[in-house]
Structure 1
Amino acid sequence: MRHTGGEVERSRLTERDEQSAQRILLTMAVRDYENDDNADEFAEGIDRQLEAVREWWQTPGPLPAFRHVDPPELKHRDDVEDFLREQKVRELRGHALALFITGHGVSASADTHFLRLPASVEKRPLATAVRTADIVAAALDSHVENVLVIVNTCFAGNMASDLAGVHKEIRSSRASSSRLDVLVTCGLKTKIEVLRFPTLLQAALTRLRMTAGITTPHLSVPDFMGEYARGLPAEDEQKFKLHHLIQGGTYQPSPCLPNPGYIHMPDLLGAIQQQAPLSAEYWLDRATGRPQESDTGWYFRGREGLNRTVASFLSPQSPRGVLLVVGCAGSGKSAVLARAVALSNPVFRLTPLYKAAEAISPEDTIPPEGSVTAAVLARHLDAAEVAGALLDALGVPQEEVDATDDRVAVWSQQVQEHVRACGKTVTIVLDGLDEAQEQARIIGDVLAPLAPFCGAPVPGQRQDGTGDKAPPAVRLLIGVRASRTADDAPRELSDDELGLLHSLWRVFPAAQVEHTDSTSSRADMELYLEALIGDAINSETVNEVVPLVVDAVWPSFIDARLAGDQLRSSKDPLALARSENWYKETLTSGIRGLLQRDLQLVGGDELPPKVALALLKAAAYAKGQGVPWGEVWPTIAGVFLLPDRLDADQWDRMIEKLLGGRLSGYLAHAVEDDRRVYRPAHEELADVLLDLDADLLGLGGSHA
C-alpha cells in the first residue's frame, strides 16, 4: 500500500506523541550470588522487592500505565551494559522513567560505589563490578522529562560524591527543564537487610491506601519518603531512611510516583469530577439522598414544584437571574441544588443512576443538559477560597497574586472577565453560604460584581445567552439557611440569618426565593422515607412506619435519613417503629437521639462506643474542612478518650470500622491540602458533638 507524505508525517507525529506520553519502569536486580552464604534467602528477598515494586507501580490513574520491562539476568558487568543498550536507556523519551536498582553493593576505598555482580572479583571492582553512578547517569541523561532512581544496595550512601559529579555533567538545558531525583536506602556504612525494603514499601503502600488520605494521583518525593520512614523504628531511622542524593527541586507530585491510595473515580460528574474529584461525591451524596457513600440507590423523591421551578430557572428561556433556595437546618436545601447539578451534567446523564432518576421524575423537573456551569460548596471557605474554587470549577487557571495584592479582587476580576468573554450564559451553583467564613465579603466582593450580568440586558441585545454576539449573562442558584418552619407560622430569624438574607436582597433585589421547609415538604419526606426503606421492609410496614417518623422528625431531612437507615438495618423494623422508647427518646430528640442510639449499637460492630464518640468529636473539633486520618485524627481523638489509650494500629482499626459501619452516615468528607478529610455530615450534628454537656453515652452527666 502506498502512503502519501502527509500520512507518513502523521504516523511519525502519532509515534512521537505516544513516546512523549509513555511511562516506563526499569528494574535492575542482581539476585544469584551462588557462592555467597545465604544465597537462596537473598534471592528470595530480591524477588520480594521486585514484587513490591511491581505492585506499587501498577497503581491505576489518569496517566498511561507504566510499561514494565522484565528485569534482566545480571551475571557479568557486560550484562549491565547490554541491558542499557538494548533498552536504549540513554536515548529514551517519555513522560516518566522509574529505575530501581538492587543487589549487593561495594564501598571502595575512594568515594565510589559499585554494584557487585556474581562474576565480580572482590579486589578488582574497577574491572569486574559496575560503578553504580554510571547506571544512574544513563537514566538521568536520557530524554525522559521526569526521572526517579531508587538504589537499594549496601553502602548506597557512598554514592553521594559520584552522583554530585554526574549531576554537574548533565547538560544545563536538561537540568533546568526536567525533574531528576535519586533516592538511596542505606547510609555510608550500612548494609541492606534484604527483606527490609519490601517490608517498608508494602507497609507504606497499605498506609497510603487506608490512612494517609492523599488524594492526588501521584505523590511528591517528600511524601513518599515520609510514608516509607513511618515504618522504621526510631533507632533505625538514620541508617535505613531514604536519602535524597539528587533532588528534583519541587514538592509537587511526581509522575514517577503513583499514589496507591488514589481513588480513580468513574467520571460521574464530568467537569466537576475533573476539577474537584471529591466535591463530585458531595453533590452525589446530597442529590441521591443515600445514607452511606457505598449505597448506589437514588432516593430523592418529591419536591416536584420546587424542582420544576429550578428546572425552569435553568432553561434557555431564563438566561439571567438569581434564585435563592432557603430553609431551616436539615430541610434539604443542598439536596435540591445537588439534584440540579447532577441531572444537568452531560457525563452523569450517560450513567444508569441518571436513568433511574429520570424514570421517577416528571420531565419538566429535570434541568436542561449542561445548564450548570460551575458548582461550589462554600462551607468553611473564606472569600478568596470561594473565588479560587469558582475559577477552578469554571476551568480558569488562577492568576499568581503578589503578596501586596488582594486575592479576592484579582480572582473576582478573572471571573468577571470569563463571563464577558465566554459568549454564553454562566450558571453558578453556590451551596453552604451560611456556613462560609467572610459571608459579607463573599456577597460583596465575589457575588455582587456579577449582579449586572444577572439583570435584564441592555435593550436591543440578544437575550438567549448563546452565540458570539450574546451579552454576558449569569444565573446564580444559591442555597442558604434562613426560613420559616411552616407556611402560616413564621419563626423568629436570628440576626445572622436576617443579615445574610438582607445582604443578598440588597445586592439582588429581584432575586426569586423558594423555601424547602413549607408544610408541603411533609409529603416529600414521606416519599423519601418510602424510597429509603421500601426495599428492606414490606409495604404494610412502610405505610405504618413512615407517618410516625415524619411526625417526629419533620422538617429535618437529615434526621429522616438517619432514622430511615436505622429502620432498614434493624432486624425488626416494625417493632422498632412501634417502640415507645425509639419514638420518644430517639426520634423526638432529633439528631442527638439518633446518634445516642447508634452509639449504643455500634459496640456490636467491635467498635467501643466511647472510641467511636471520641473519633466523631475529633472530627467536629477539627478546623478547616475536616480532620485527616494519618496521625492527626487519632491524636485529637486520644484527648477525648483519656485516660484510656490505644496504639496506632488500634486507632487505624477503629477508624476503619467507623468509616465502614453504621456511623459512617454521620460523616462527610472533603479535600484539604490534597488530603482526604472527614467532618460531621451536618452542622447540627457538629453542634451536638461540640456540646460539652451532651450525655451521648448515657453516663448520666458530662463526659467530655
Structure 2
Amino acid sequence: MRGRAGGLVRIGEPGDAGDTGQATAGRASVNTVEEDSARRTLLTLAVRDYGDGDTEFTAGIDEQLSVVADWWCAPGAPEPFTHVPAPELRERYDVERFLHESEVREMRGRALVVFITGHGQLGASRTHFLQLPRTEPRRQLATAIRTSEIVAAALDSRAEHVLVVINTCYAAGIAEELEKLHQEILPSRRTGGSLDVVATCAHDQLVQVRQFPSVLRRVLERLRTTAQITTPWLSVAHLMTEFESELGTDTERRKHRLKRVLDGGGQTALTPCLPNPGYRPLRELVGPARRQVATPADEVDHWLDRASGRPQETDPGWYFSGREALGRAITAFLGRPRGVLLLTGTAGSGKSAVLARAVTLSDPLFRDDPRYGRALRSAAPETVPPEGSVTAAVLARHRTVSDVLGDLLRALELPPRPAGPTDDPVELRRAQLLAHLDEPGDPVTLVLDGLDESVEPFRVVRDVLAPLTAHCGAAPALPGQRRAERQRSLRLLIGVRSSRPRADHAAPPGPAGREAGLLGALREVFPTASVLRTDETDSESDIADYVQALVGAETSGGDSTRQAAETVAKRVWPSFLDARLAGEQLHHASDPDALAGNPDWLDLLQAGTIGLLRRDLALVEDEGLPAEVALALLRAAAFALGAGIPWSDVWPAVAGALLGRPVEESDRMIENLLKSRLAGYLAHDDEDDRLVYRPAHEALAELLRDPRQDLLAGVGGDAV
C-alpha cells in the first residue's frame, strides 16, 4: 500500500465484493478535492538568526512576519489564510524538510502565498541562493538552497492561484532562472490560474530588513483607509501602485520599489492571493437592473434613523411619506399598460429623488427586506408602485448613446452583442433592444434619469428614445416600424431638467409648441406624453415638510420647527438642494430657533446655494479645516470625469493644482472633510474598483466649476 504523499489520497487495497479499492479511492479523491478547493494558505520561510549577534536583523524579520500575518490572517477576515510558518531554519535540510512536511508541491486550494525572507546571494552562474546560518560561502550549491527550488515548488503545486514574495538581497536576480523554469510548467496550469512572483530588491541591492516591513505596514494602512479599493481581492498592480505611492518621489526611498519577476495573471486581474484589507461590502437595496437610479441604502437608513425619534412609531419618515402628489401620479402611471411620462423641473428641484423613490419601492429585493417592511406598509398605498413595475432603470449622467444602450441591455439581462470592425455599436445595440421589445412578453418599464447630463443628450433622444415610440403607444408607428399584436408594451419614465415656465403659463398638455431645449425635443417625439413638474407652486409645502423632517422633532419644538421650515421654504423654493443644505444647518445648530430667526442667515438663504456653502466653509474653518483647502477638495470632485474622484493620490493632486500649492497633510484634510458638515455636499459611488466622490448634485458641481464665483467671499469673517 502506498501512503498519502503531499495531499494525494492513498490508494487502498481492493474492498469487499461489489466494491473495488479504485472506486473507494476515487470517491475519497473527489471528497478531498472538494474540501481543499477553497483552502487559502500562507507559508512563511524566514531566516531570523544567522548567529552573528545582529539583533536588529532579527527584530526586522519578526516585524516582517508580523505585518504579513496581520494582512493575510487578520482576525475576523471573511476568508482568512491558514498560516503555516517554517520552523527555525539553520541548514539546507531544514528548508527541504519543511517543503516536504508542509506538502507544498502537492498542495491544493484556491490560493497559496509564499513569503521568503532572509539574506540572499547571487552566485557566479547568476543563480540566486537563500543563505542559511550553516551556509558555507564557498559551497553555495551544497550548503545554501536555490531560492528557485522554493518558488518552483509553489508554482507547480496544485493550488489554483500562487503568489510568491521574495524579500532577500538581490531578489530580482532570480528572474532569469524563473523564466526558464516557468516553461517546465504545463501550459494549462500557466493559463488556468495566476502564478505571480514579486521581489523587493533589485538584482544588485542589499535587503533593508527594517525598510520593507515599515513601508508594507503603511501600505496596509493605506489600503484600509485612503486607497478605498472596493473589491474583496486586489491585483498585483494594486499592490505595486500603493507601494510606490507610499514610497513617494524620494530618490533614495524609490530604490525599494517592488519588482514583478513573474507575471502570471496580468496587470489588472484580481487574485485571491491578495485580500483587500480595506474591503467593506456594500449593502445593496435593490437588484442590479434598478441599481443605477435607486436610492442608496445609507440615505434610506438616514430617514429611518430620523424617524425613530419621533412621537409616532408608524411615522416612516420623509423618504416614505414625502412628495405625496408626485408619488401618486407616478404610481398611477406605472399601473398603465404603456405610455410616456416626462418628469421635469429646474435644477435641484428633486427630480432624481422622486424617480429614485419610485424605482426603489418597486424593487422586489427591497420590498422583501424586513428592515423596511413596517415603514413601507405605513406609506400611503397609492404612492407605492406595484412590485416589479420598473423593469430597468439607467442613469444617463456622463454617458454616450452607446453607453446608455449598453446599460439598458444589461439591465434587461441582455449582454450587448460585440461589434465587428464594420459595425456601428449604436445601431447594433438599438436593434438588439428593439428585437427584445418585439418579442411577446410582459410589459416593460424603462426609467432613464439625468438625460440632460448625458454626454450627447439630443442623440439619446433621437437614437435611443425615438425608435421606441411604436412600443409605448406615444405616437403612430412610423413607416417601416411593425407593431405586432403580441409585442411587449412599453412604459417610458424619463427625468430631464428644464427651465420653469412663467407662473401665468403652465406647461401645455398637448403638442410641444415652441417649447425649447431637451424637454421640447422629447415632446416632439412623444406628443401625447404626460408631463409632471417637480417645481410647481404647491411644492413649497413639500419643501417645508422636507426641512421639518431634516431638522427633526428632537432638535426643536414642534410649532417652532414648522414655522422655521415654512420660512426656509419661502426663501429657497423651488430648490430641494438648498432646502437640504439649510435643513442640515438648522439640524446641527446649537439653537435652531435662533438661527431660523437670524436676518443675516435668512439673507444667505436668499442667495441660494452660494450663501449656504460660504457659511459652511466658514464654519469648517473654525473646526480646523482651512476653508481654501476644503473648497479646493470640493472643486476637485466637481472637475472629476466619470462617476467621481478617488481618494488615494488623485484627489490630493487635483486639489493641489486648483489650490496652487500642495495640500499639506492631504489625507488628514480629506478625512476631516468627509467627517465635517461639508460631507453633505458630496455623494459617493464605485468606479474602476475605487470609491469615488462627486458633488451631491450637478447644479452644485456647476457652481463649483464656475470660475466667476468667489465662493470664499466673506468666509474670513464671523460665521452667522
Q: What SS is found at the alignment partner of 1:73? A: coil
Structure 1 residues 97 and 419: alpha-carbon distance in aligned structure 2, compared to 1, 3 A threshold: farther
Question: Please, what TM-score do these two structures have when normalized by structure 1?
Answer: 0.86
Structure 1 residues 517 and 616: alpha-carbon distance in aligned structure 2, compared to 1, 3 A threshold: same
What is the alpha-carbon distance in structure 2 between the residues aligned to residue 98 and residue 496 of structure 1?
68
* 2:561 equivalent in structure 1: 542
1:594 to 612, 633, 636: 612
- Structure 2 residue 53 is matched with structure 1 residue 33: no
- Structure 2 residue 461 is matched with structure 1 residue 446: no
What is the alpha-carbon distance in structure 2 between the residues aligned to residue 52 and residue 70 of structure 1?
15
**Is 2:396–2:404's contact at 8 Å kept on the other side of the alignment?**
yes
1:73 Cα deviation from its structure 2 partner: 0.8
1:699 Cα deviation from its structure 2 partner: 5.1
What is the alpha-carbon distance in structure 2 between the residues aligned to residue 528 and residue 129 of structure 1?
74
Further displaced range: 221-230 or 345-354: 345-354
* 2:285 equivalent in structure 1: 268
- Structure 2 residue 325 is matched with structure 1 residue 309: no
* 1:400 equivalent in structure 2: 418
How many aligned positions are there?
674
1:501 Cα deviation from its structure 2 partner: 1.9
Aligned-partner residue type, residue 24 of structure 1: R
Superposed CA RMSD in Å reads 3.7
1:9 Cα deviation from its structure 2 partner: 9.4
Aligned-partner residue type, residue 367 of structure 1: P
The 5 Å alignment of 1:123-202 reads: 123-202=138-217
Further displaced range: 479-488 or 620-629: 479-488
The 5 Å alignment of 1:512-591 reads: 512-534=530-552, 535-584=554-603, 586-591=604-609
Further displaced range: 52-61 or 508-517: 52-61
Further displaced range: 535-544 or 230-239: 230-239
**Deviation by residue 1:277-328 (Cα, 9 ceiling, x = unmatched):** xx578645776786999x999532322222122223334xx34332221111
The 5 Å alignment of 1:600-615 reads: 600-615=618-633
What is the alpha-carbon distance in structure 1 between the residues aligned to residue 536 and residue 301 of structure 2?
21
**Deviation by residue 1:561-612 (Cα, 9 ceiling, x = unmatched):** 110000010111100000000002x111111111011111111221011111
**Is 1:19–1:94's contact at 8 Å kept on the other side of the alignment?**
yes
What is the alpha-carbon distance in structure 2 between the residues aligned to residue 257 and residue 700 of structure 1?
46
Structure 1 residues 372 and 93: alpha-carbon distance in aligned structure 2, compared to 1, 3 A threshold: farther
Structure 1 residues 666 and 119: alpha-carbon distance in aligned structure 2, compared to 1, 3 A threshold: same
What is the alpha-carbon distance in structure 1 between the residues aligned to residue 341 and residue 594 of structure 2?
43
Structure 1 residues 637 and 566: alpha-carbon distance in aligned structure 2, compared to 1, 3 A threshold: same
1:105 to 115, 120, 128: 120
What is the alpha-carbon distance in structure 1 between the residues aligned to residue 121 and residue 539 of structure 2?
76
* 2:338 equivalent in structure 1: 320
Q: Which has the larger radius of gyration?
A: 2
Q: What SS is found at the alignment partner of 2:270? A: coil
**Deviation by residue 1:45-83 (Cα, 9 ceiling, x = unmatched):** 22322232233335799x971432331214243343343
What is the alpha-carbon distance in structure 2 between the residues aligned to residue 599 and residue 691 of structure 1?
17
Structure 1 residues 508 and 490: alpha-carbon distance in aligned structure 2, compared to 1, 3 A threshold: closer
**Is 2:393–2:411's contact at 8 Å kept on the other side of the alignment?**
yes
* 1:504 equivalent in structure 2: 522
The 5 Å alignment of 1:180-579 reads: 180-232=195-247, 234-236=250-252, 239-248=255-264, 250-255=266-271, 256-271=273-288, 279=292, 283-284=296-297, 299-300=318-319, 301-315=321-335, 318-351=336-369, 354-355=372-373, 357-419=375-437, 423-455=441-473, 471-482=487-498, 484=500, 488-490=504-506, 498-534=516-552, 535-579=554-598
1:248 Cα deviation from its structure 2 partner: 2.1
* 1:24 equivalent in structure 2: 40
What is the alpha-carbon distance in structure 2 between the residues aligned to residue 428 and residue 220 of structure 1?
36
Q: What SS is found at the alignment partner of 1:235? A: coil
What is the alpha-carbon distance in structure 2 between the residues aligned to residue 683 and residue 238 of structure 1?
40
1:688 Cα deviation from its structure 2 partner: 2.2
Aligned-partner residue type, residue 388 of structure 1: G
**Is 1:286–1:338's contact at 8 Å kept on the other side of the alignment?**
no
**Is 1:485–1:517's contact at 8 Å kept on the other side of the alignment?**
no
- Structure 2 residue 684 is matched with structure 1 residue 669: yes
**Is 1:322–1:512's contact at 8 Å kept on the other side of the alignment?**
yes
- Structure 2 residue 653 is matched with structure 1 residue 635: yes
What is the alpha-carbon distance in structure 1 between the residues aligned to residue 551 and residue 387 of structure 2?
31
The 5 Å alignment of 1:19-98 reads: 19-20=36-37, 22-33=38-49, 35-38=51-54, 40-58=55-73, 65-75=79-89, 76-98=91-113
**Is 1:284–1:338's contact at 8 Å kept on the other side of the alignment?**
no
Structure 1 residues 337 and 142: alpha-carbon distance in aligned structure 2, compared to 1, 3 A threshold: same
What is the alpha-carbon distance in structure 1 between the residues aligned to residue 25 and residue 589 of structure 2?
67
What is the alpha-carbon distance in structure 1 between the residues aligned to residue 304 and residue 577 of structure 2?
9
What is the alpha-carbon distance in structure 1 between the residues aligned to residue 537 and residue 489 of structure 2?
35
What is the alpha-carbon distance in structure 2 between the residues aligned to residue 17 and residue 506 of structure 1?
61
Q: What SS is found at the alignment partner of 2:388? A: coil
Aligned-partner residue type, residue 139 of structure 2: R
Aligned-partner residue type, residue 556 of structure 2: I
* 2:3 equivalent in structure 1: none
**Deviation by residue 1:422-452 (Cα, 9 ceiling, x = unmatched):** 9443332211111111112212222333333
Q: What SS is found at the alignment partner of 1:692? A: coil
1:243 Cα deviation from its structure 2 partner: 0.9
Aligned-partner residue type, residue 325 of structure 2: G
What is the alpha-carbon distance in structure 1 between the residues aligned to residue 224 and residue 504 of structure 2?
52
**Deviation by residue 1:19-67 (Cα, 9 ceiling, x = unmatched):** 44x25232223243151232x4333322322232233335799x97143
Further displaced range: 416-425 or 574-583: 416-425
Aligned sequence identity (%): 47
Further displaced range: 411-420 or 170-179: 411-420
* 2:9 equivalent in structure 1: none
Structure 1 residues 36 and 476: alpha-carbon distance in aligned structure 2, compared to 1, 3 A threshold: farther
What is the alpha-carbon distance in structure 1 between the residues aligned to residue 555 and residue 347 of structure 2?
28
Question: Please, what TM-score do these two structures have when normalized by structure 2?
Answer: 0.84
**Is 1:486–1:519's contact at 8 Å kept on the other side of the alignment?**
no
What is the alpha-carbon distance in structure 2 between the residues aligned to residue 334 and residue 305 of structure 1?
16
Aligned-partner residue type, residue 79 of structure 2: A
* 2:482 equivalent in structure 1: none
* 1:464 equivalent in structure 2: none
Structure 1 residues 403 and 86: alpha-carbon distance in aligned structure 2, compared to 1, 3 A threshold: farther
Aligned-partner residue type, residue 46 of structure 2: V
Structure 1 residues 523 and 146: alpha-carbon distance in aligned structure 2, compared to 1, 3 A threshold: same
Further displaced range: 561-570 or 494-503: 494-503
1:457 Cα deviation from its structure 2 partner: 13
**Is 1:24–1:97's contact at 8 Å kept on the other side of the alignment?**
yes
Q: Which runs of 5+ in 1 are unaligned?
A: 459-468
Structure 1 residues 55 and 410: alpha-carbon distance in aligned structure 2, compared to 1, 3 A threshold: farther
**Is 1:270–1:347's contact at 8 Å kept on the other side of the alignment?**
yes
